[in-house]
Structure 1
Amino acid sequence: MTTNLRIRFTVDDEVLSRLHADAFGSNYTLSPWRERLERHSRSWIGAFIDERLIGFVHAIWDGGRHAFLLDTMVAPGLHRHGIGTQLVSALVDDLRGLGIEWLHVDYEPHLNDFYRKACGFNATDAGLLRLN
């Protein structure tokens, strides 16, 4: 299985929406991914096997030196093959080249080994406020 990573590829809203629903176990909803990414994200990366999108991650940014990693996803059945780690690593490299100095990520406790051990993030205190 050869995985190819594509940086800032042309996003197909339907394909990415389906991957998102599958990866997060939610109902399929068509979302305007391309428009959102082009407007708010500093970079995004897709993992492909042949032409099939099997993984994705992106980083939104503040217009300066901070970016926020979001939506790390890998298709079910392809977990624990290093695809997520490859995606995050490639995103980090791309953001570094774009002048980003700080990359933030929030995650649930069960993802601690992935983000801290596999991807190299440090633990920090953070706050969360639900608005609705």
Structure 2
Amino acid sequence: MAITYEWRGDFENAAVNRLHAEGFGHRGLDIDWVAQVHRHSLGWVCARRDRDGELVGFVNVAWDGGVHAFVLDTVVTADMRRSGIGAGLVAAAVGGARAARCEWLHVDFDDELRTFYFDACGFQPTNAGLIAL
């Protein structure tokens, strides 16, 4: 199946809310993703199925306004997972951050996603700290 990836692509809030509800269990939330990413993000990537234009994946790339960018909320619709779309989303995010002259792209994730981020996407393990708020 052919997929198109678009850096800073147009999308509808309802489509990203559906993806997040399915991927992260954020059911019933009505987030204004368009306003949020335009206000806070370096960019985002939309993955669309070529045959019908349906949004099947999304990743947000936040940043510090300088040289650090951060991958957030990588999500692919359940019926399309394990087909390379997630890796394609991250590759497009890497390209967008690189084009913006960022020097570092960070990601944090749950243990079950280690293989995805390290093997499929090329991230390297680092030391990091976290405070639960």
TM-score band (shorter)?
A: over 0.9
Contact 2:46 2:89 in 1 (8 A): yes
SS at match of 2:78: coil
CA distance in 2, matches of 1:89, 1:28: 30
Match of 1:91 in 2: 93
| C-alpha separation in 2, matches of 1:84 and 1:103 | 16
Give % identity: 44
Greater alpha carbon shift after TM alignment, 105-114 vs 18-27: 18-27
Rounded to whole Å, the distance in 2 between the matches of 1:77 and 1:89 is: 21
Following TM superposition, the consecutive aligned residue runs of length 4 or more in structure 1 with deviations greater than 4 angstroms are none
User: Does the CA contact (< 8 Å) of 2:6 and 2:92 recur in 1?
Assistant: no
- Secondary structure in structure 2 of the residue aligned to 1:77: helix
Aligned length: 131
Partner of 1:37: 37
Could you tell me which residue of structure 1 aligns to residue 110 of structure 2?
108
Q: Which runs of 5+ in 1 are unaligned?
A: none
TM-aligned CA deviation for residue 26 of structure 1: 3.4
Amino acid at match of 1:115: Y
Q: 2:67 is matched with which residue?
A: 65
The reply on whether 1:15 has 2:15 as its aligned counterpart is yes
Shift of residue 130, structure 1, vs aligned partner? 1.7
C-alpha displacement of 1:52? 0.7
Shift of 1:123: 0.6
Q: 1:75 aligns with which of 62, 74, 77?
A: 77
Q: Which residue of 2 aligns with 1:26?
A: 26
Alignment match, 1:55? 57
Q: CA RMSD in A?
A: 1.0
Deviation at 1:74, TM superposition (A): 0.3
Structure 2: tracts of 5 or more residues without a match: none
Q: Deviations over 1:101-131 (max 9, x none)?
A: 1001001111000000010101112111122
> Shift in Å at residue 25 of structure 1?
3.1
